[in-house]
Each structure stands twice: as C-alpha cells, then as structure tokens.
Chains A and B, each alone.
Chain A
C-alpha cells in the first residue's frame, strides 16, 4: 500500500528541521516534524511532554466528524466509546473535582420506530485518585460533596422535567456506604459556609444538609419555590415553575426573591435577579435586580440598592465601584460610579477589560464621533485613535489586547489593537480573536497565545500568534486542547500536536481516520 503523495516527504522534512535547528533561527517551521501515520519519537524533533501532563489532547475534525484524541506525547489513543466526564462540585469550591464518570453505550441490536439503534447507556464512577466507586450500571451520577454523589436513573437526552418518565428515581447517595438519602434530589450546590442545598428536578429546594448529610433546614420547605440557585450564603428562587406550560399561565406575575438558609425571604419581589457577573467578578455581594418600576439596580444583602440605572437601561457591567449602563436604540453606553456620577459618556460601544475576572482597570469605548478611547477607572483617556470607517463595536480580548469590529455588507471583520491602541493586526483577515485557554483543571488558564480566526472562510482559517503579533502557526482549520506547552490542531490534511513554537510534535494524515466516502 502506498501513502498519499502529499504525505511522502520524510527525508526533506527532517533535513529542513535539522537545518532550522542548527541555524538557531527561532521556531522550526510547521511541517518540519514527522509527517506520516505515526509519531516519530526518535527523529530529534520530538518534544517530550512536561512531567505530569497526562491529559488527553483532542481536536474535532469536521471531515472525520469526530474528535481525534492523542496523549501528551502525541500517541494516538484507540477509539474509545467511553466518554469521561469530570464531576465537579457546584457552588463554593465549584472547580473541585469530586469524581469521574465513565459513560458508554451498548447496541444490543434493538431498533426504535425510526430504525435507529435503541442504545443502552452504562456508567461507572471513579474517585479522583482513580479508585472505582461504582461499577458499570445504568445509573448516572452528579457531583454533590465528599463521598456523597447524586445517583439517578440515567437518561441520555433528558433536558426538561417534562421529559422525565414516570417513576424516575434520583437521590443523594453515599458511595462509601451505599446508603441512599433524600430521594428526589436532582441537584446539589454548596454555600460559602460549606452547607449544601438540595433541589428537585424543577429546581425546587428540598432542604439544606451539612457534610455528614444531616438535615439543617427544610425537608420539607414550607413554600414551594423554583429554579433555585445558590449564591454565596443565599438562595435565589423564582415564584413560578418555568416548566409549567399550562394555558393562560400569567408569566408576568413571576417574581424572584433572595432567601437565607432558613428559607426566609430577604428581599421584595423582583422581576429578575441576575448573578451573571456576581459569580466571577469581585463585587462584594452584589446582584443585578429588576424592580417593579422596571428599573435595573445593583443590590447587596448588606447595603440594599447601591445603584439604579437610568430609565429603560440595562446594566452591562459592574464591579466594586463602577457600572456600565446600556440603553436605547441605537444603543448607548456610559461609565458611571456608585455615587451616580457619570465618568464618561457618548459611547456606541463600551466594554470593560475584565477578562481576568478582576474589576476592570481599563475600559475600551467607541465614541459617537468615531474615536476609539481607552479609559482608566476614573474615565480618563489613556489612549485614543480614530476608528476605521464602518466600525460598529469594540471589545477586549484580554492580556492588554483589544479589537474593533467593522461590518461591511454581510462581512464582519476585526482588527487587533494593543494597549496603546496601536494596530497589531489590521482588519480584513479575521473575524474573531481569542486567547488560547487550558480548561484541564476546570478553571481557565490563559496562555500568552492569540487565536485569530476567520470562520467565514471554508475551511475556517485559524492562525496562532504570540502576544507581540509573531505568527506561530498558520493555516489551521481547527484548534483543540491547549496544554501547558502544546496544542492539538488540524492543518490542511494533517492533524496532531504542535508545540508553542509551531513545530509538529506528532503529525498524522486525516485520511487515516477518514469517515467517508
């Protein structure tokens, strides 16, 4: 059997790599690695993985219609029908890994009315150290706390409560003792003080337990609430069942409340209570609430209403002292503080540079007069430049990089700016910028790598740059897992692992895994 001709270039490729390395002129060009159907660990270009990097690297191929999975050394992992699903605690310590569920399906030959396989899904549960907690069974698992999980009749595609079949069983379950607790528990979330709220399939609070599983409150809760969320040491609830689709239901009367851990109502009814920023930004104890008067406000349990937005305005951003309200058509933005002072006004686009989850120190705005401004927290102009014709918005990429967006006809294009608003990448090449992010540990770890994409191209054109705008890897059609020093990519008819210099660590032909024809 012969290989596809474009894959046959071993000697020259190796020579090129050696020439580049010997010349010491930076990164060897992609393609200098080891093309072919197997990694070449002995070719002198192979980069061993960092110690402890035992993750799987995957990249999705639209050609193959599946993910291609490698280990950190670039060795292909055998096609495995088992999905590995990390179970992480919800609420306080939400990134803590509590267990790992393996899931696979079996095709016993049965077919449904449309002729599709009637698959049986099986799950097994492991502790984070790899020890088996529960062998393969039809049960599914969700995270709770300690040795306690939620064990439930597992249905592969359940999305809404009305999908759950009669007799559906779910409960808190101690993996060490096998004891089942609090039947009906569908979800568990942990308060800042370490206790846990249990809710049913409608998000209705059942009660609160401690780490030993002892009931602290509720069981039952006197009033039926819905869609409960834990926020700090409080519970946000809704008065109406969002899954009740009965005719003539008065959706307008639905109201939200904040409860304490005795299920005591702490607030007046609000049209909404939003935690959209409160979970990951450092405003101490703030929520966005919608009052009966239609006004949008910032609220804390300790101080009450801190700030109220102008009539008809939504709150687009807030932190410990600043707010960006957004209102009107065309949309207008400004920068306010909690004292009601407007620090900067007249923007058709204004975004806080808060990509690190901390209160923004910089704000990028597009003013009505076509000027792009970079502001500090006092609203003072740090940098300014004229926006290209057709600029409709601006935003923060992170790590001191910003973008402007231009729409001409059906085409959207973005240009990249640095912290002095100097152009790093002009518009015309890309329609999206992002930073390479490692999600292995649940919390995002952002690398000093810029992913510049043109998704309107077919295939998508994706280039990876250093933060100084130096091209690292070009002509990619897909990027996947980013590890500490390597990434899973597809480039042309090849896929594999590249290091952060753009050199192949392992390279394979996509045709080796081809789906069709």
Chain B
C-alpha cells in the first residue's frame, strides 16, 4: 500500500542513498540519525516558520499517538520518518503523560483523555492551566477471537458482559461457552475510555489477574489465544488494534450494528467515540515553540499529515 504510493521515486532515493553510503562515515560529518537508508523521503523544511529541530518543543503523548509524534517531527523538522522515529518518545501510559505535563516535563501533549484520578490530581493544582483542544478521533473497539461466530454486540450486551450478567456466549447468539472478559489496568488509556464510553457509572466486575494484563499487546494476544477456545473478549482503541498491532487471530466486533472503521469513526456513526487532544499550557506565549506547534497541528496541513499516517482528524 505504502510502497505503491512512494513507487519509483522512492527507488531512486534508495539507490542514491546506497551510493552515498559508500565508504566510512566520520563523526561530525553527518547526523548519525541520517546516516542510514531513508525509506521515506524527507518533507520540505520550514513547514512551520520559527520551528525546527533545534527548538522543537518537548512533546509527549499516549502510546497510540507515538507514530503521530514521529509524523509531526518529520513534517516540522524536515527529516525522514525513519529518523523521526528515533527522535520521539512517550513517557509511559496516558496517566504518566498527563503527569509529565503537570510536573513540567513536557510542553505539548498529543494525548487521550486523562484518567479520573489524574484529573483529580490536576484539579488540586491551582497553578496548572491547560489549553486542551480536540485534535483527532478514535474509537473504543471490542476484540474477539477470529473464530468466534459473534459479529455484533449491543452496548447493553457489552455492559451486561462486563457486569457479569451475561456470562456465556450462547446468551448473545454465539457458540455456548463461558465468556472470558479481559480488562486493563486502571491508569491505561483504554480502561479510561471503557469506563467513560461504555460503563459510565457502572462498576465492572473485578477480573482475575490473568484477565487484566498490564500490556495492551498482552491483552490482544490473550484475546486471540485465550484457552484456544475463542471465548475471550477485550477492548482497545481503534488505531492501536487496527494499525499498530497486527494479529490475524482476532477481529473487531461491530457495536449496535456499526463496524468500527476510519469512515464510521470519522463520520460519528460508530457509537463509542473519543477524541484525542493537543494540550499546551495556557500561559504559553505567542510564538513559543509549543504554541507554534499547537497552532500548526490545528491546520489543514497537519490534518492531511495525520490522515497520511491513518489517524482520523477532527472534522471542522
């Protein structure tokens, strides 16, 4: 897909890079990050006047937005994606990222909604004033084993599963057998969304440890492999489940009859939607790197860059 897009131009660049790579490189003669083959062409420099690699703000974000961080760095600093990937990092889960902003470790966040306990912490800090703007949209999606014949669940059925009222796949039109409902740890972004978008004020059942893996990948693997029986269900955000973590043994369920896709999430047809945000301190002065970057992120140019990386920008 991507290889088709970059096509013959890319091949020329690769060959040129191969020729240029001959002979040893001497320190100080090239940026080490650029010394390797560039599989993506570098964008033109100067996308954001006044912003460059030298004054690029300290950006943190949710893990699912890490490729977006790299895309933004690539666009703004005019470097290939492969190099940009070496220049960006996130400080942890979504909770840790918000805390990083609280304690002055970041100037701009590309982040999902803060967990409730973090919101409470931030509310107690009277000096913390943040400018939080919706930037993109994602969906809370539910995953089951690809062999599970169930294709759709209603929100009510999902709530009943996670409150223990529905315990057997036979109750929702599937092959009879126990439902193993995975959850995430409380500070994870997807757990926050799960509580906000689906459970609201309901308390989910307390899962056994093996059904609350710390890692998103472990959850996805767990759902895909659980007992080999196809009896598991879990949840994630759409971008992560669909694009960042490929597992052919699972599938996404439609909810209330709507399949989660970029189109249904972008249009708002999918019912479990959530925005992610660009966050800066309210006191960022005009012309500061963080404010310059924030303003650019809200532009049509940035929206196109987001789409290129298969994120779903907020439709204006």
Contact = CB atoms under 8 A, between A and B. Distances in A.
Given A493-B70, A517-B62, A475 B3 contact: no
A107 interface: yes
Contacts of B32: 461, 463, 471, 474-475
Contacts of A492: 70, 82-86
A468 to B, nearest CB: 7
26 contacts: A4-B244, A6-B40, A6-B67, A15-B11, A25-B18, A25-B19, A29-B17, A29-B18, A31-B36, A425-B28, A426-B27, A429-B28, A458-B58, A474-B34, A475-B33, A477-B89, A492-B70, A492-B85, A493-B70, A511-B240, A512-B245, A515-B215, A515-B217, A517-B63, A517-B93, A517-B237
Contacts of A117: 209
Contacts of B63: 63, 514-517
Interface string B170-203: 0000000000000000001110000000000000
A459 interface: yes
Interface in A1-31: 1-6, 8-13, 15-16, 19-20, 23, 25-26, 29-31
B81 A109 contact: no
Given A12-B14, A31-B36, A470-B26, 8 more contacts: A5-B67, A6-B67, A32-B37, A475-B33, A475-B35, A477-B86, A514-B244, A517-B94
Nearest to A13: B39
B309 A459 contact: no
B216 interface: yes
A62 B90 CA distance: 9
Contact of A2 (B18, B93, B112, B246): B246
Contact of B35 (A107, A474, A511): A474
B147 interface: no
A12 B112 contact: no
Contacts of A31: 36-37, 39, 82
B208 interface: yes
Contacts of B242: 1-2
Nearest to A474: B32
Given A475-B86, A476-B86, A493-B70, A64 B28 contact: no
Closest 10 CB pairs of A and B: A474-B32, A492-B85, A517-B189, A25-B22, A475-B86, A459-B89, A470-B24, A516-B93, A475-B33, A29-B37
Interface in B231-272: 237, 240, 242-248, 250
A469 interface: yes
B25 interface: yes
Interface string B37-72: 101100000000000000000100011101100100
A424 B27 contact: yes
A465 interface: yes
Given A31-B37, A424-B27, A8 B2 contact: yes
A190 interface: no
A406 to B, nearest CB: 15
Contacts of B39: 9, 12-13, 31
Nearest to B241: A1
A491 interface: yes
A60 B15 CA distance: 34
A448 B168 CA distance: 61
A354 interface: no
A282 interface: no
A494 B37 CA distance: 14
Given A63-B63, A64-B215, A468 B24 contact: yes
Contact of B24 (A26, A37, A513): A26
Interface residues of A, number: 65
B27 A20 contact: no
A478 B177 CA distance: 45
B21 A20 contact: yes
B189 A516 contact: yes
Contacts of B26: 469-471
B1 A5 contact: yes
Nearest to A62: B89
A515 B92 CA distance: 9
A512 B34 CA distance: 25
A15 B2 contact: no
A510 to B, nearest CB: 9
Contacts of B11: 12, 15
B209 A109 contact: yes
A476 B85 CA distance: 10
Contacts of B247: 1
Interface string B73-86: 00000000111111
A137 to B, nearest CB: 23
Contact of A29 (B10, B21, B30): B21
Nearest to A476: B86
Interface string A460-503: 01010110111101111100000000000001111000000010
B89 A9 contact: no
B214 interface: yes
B215 A514 contact: yes
Given A512-B245, A515-B217, A425 B27 contact: yes
Contacts of A475: 32-33, 35-36, 83, 86
B316 to A, nearest CB: 24
Interface centre among A16, A31, A513 (most CB of B within 10 A): A16
A12 B28 contact: no
Nearest to B30: A471
Interface centre among A5, A23, A471, A493 (most CB of B within 10 A): A5
Nearest to B25: A471
Nearest to A425: B27
A29 B209 contact: no
B88 interface: yes
A431 to B, nearest CB: 14
B23 interface: yes
B190 A517 contact: yes
A516 B21 CA distance: 37
Contacts of B33: 461, 474-475
A12 B10 contact: yes
A517 B21 contact: no
Contacts of A471: 24-27, 30, 32, 35
Contacts of B243: 2-5
A514 B245 contact: yes
Contact of A9 (B3, B15, B208): B3
Given A26-B22, A517-B190, A5 B36 contact: no
Contacts of A5: 1-2, 67, 243, 309-310
Contact of B216 (A6, A10, A517): A517
A425 B25 CA distance: 12
Contacts of A470: 24-26
A23 B216 CA distance: 43
Contact of A4 (B14, B37, B67, B208): B67
Nearest to A18: B18
Nearest to B61: A517
A101 B39 CA distance: 45
A331 B267 CA distance: 68
Contacts of B34: 474
A475 to B, nearest CB: 4
A6 to B, nearest CB: 6
Contacts of A463: 32
